[in-house]
Amino acid sequence: MAFRATVLTLYPEMFPGPLGVSLSGKALAAGLWSLEARNIRDHGIGAHRAVDDTPAGGGAGMVLRADVLAAAIDAALSPGDPRPRLLMSPRGAPLMQARIRDLAAGDGALIVCGRFEGVDERVIEGRSLEEVSIGDYVLSGGELAAMVLLDACVRLLPGVMGAEASGEEESFEAGMLEYPHYTRPSVWEGRAIPDVLLSGHHGRIAAWRRAEAERITRARRPDLLAGNEG
């Protein structure tokens, strides 16, 4: 079964957006995955389809209602749907490549895009939503974060990337950042491609790439090496 993504949002017109071009767009057109954007407001309350209300206890902003969002989730899922239910949220667990691999190997995901000040905590608990964050910053809504997650997943689906090996040496796949890349011309503005890469010696090239990956990781993300060494 192809990877199925269902996105719950107040702005379904934002999709597929960037997901409709390049690798993900070609894969979408080829049926390697599917995308359904559903409007949460279809389940809003009253004549104006209200989806939010003031926060209990006071405070600024508005909160997405539990009853409205739960109705949208229930309508989007068929009985026994095994897909994880994700809520894009700055307070969620950081999205890591290992989680992306797990998601890409599954049936897809239901992704909730929050808006306003947040989502009523009761629907997070009542519908077993897994909160996921793409970084320590706040966006206007979860739509862009959902696109980031889906792009990362789709490129790992079978048949999406031209060369399967192209994904195996990327940043984070081996627990380190990726080594530097070069191509023609051999000299540009006085900067030459490292001789080892032109040597044709595959063993020396592989060793150089491993050493460079470790050097860059140690300089920029020592936490990754600490995790490997631990």
Q: Domains (ranges, CATH) in the chain? A: 3-154 (3.40.1280.10), 169-229 (1.10.1270.20)
pLDDT in the model for residue 126: 98
User: Could you tell me which residues are beta bridge partners of residue 33?
Assistant: 3
Give yes or no for a contact between 3 and 32, defined as CB atoms under 8 angstroms apart: yes
Task: Indicate whether this model's pTM tops 0.85.
Answer: yes
CA 3 centroid distance within chain: 14
Identify the pLDDT of residue 175. 85
Concatenate the DSSP letters of all residues of the chain into one string: --EEEEEEES-GGG-SGGGGSHHHHHHHHTTSEEEEEEEGGGG-BTTTTB-EEPPTT--SS-EE-HHHHHHHHHHH--TT----EEEEEEEEEEP-HHHHHHHHTSSEEEEEE--TTEE-HHHHHHTT-EEEESSSS--SSSHHHHHHHHHHHHTTSTTTSSSGGGGTTSTTTTSSPPPP---SSSEETTEEPPGGGGS--HHHHHHHHHHHHHHHHHHH-HHHHHHHH-
The span from the CA of 36 to the CA of 77, in Å, is: 12
Q: Which residues of the chain have pLDDT under 70?
A: 163-171, 227-230
The label of the residue with tokens 């999205």 reads 95
CA-nearest of 87, 98, 96 to 123 is 87
Note the pLDDT of residue 165. 46
d(Cα 195, Cα 184) in Å, to the nearest integer? 13
Residue 119 dihedral angles phi and psi, to the nearest 5°: -120, 140
The pLDDT of residue 164 is 55
Structure tokens at 37: 């954007």
**What would the two tokens of residue 145 be?**
């974060």
Specify the pLDDT at position 172.
75
Angstrom distance (rounded) from CA 40 to CA 55: 19
CB-CB contact of 48 with 110 (8 Å): no
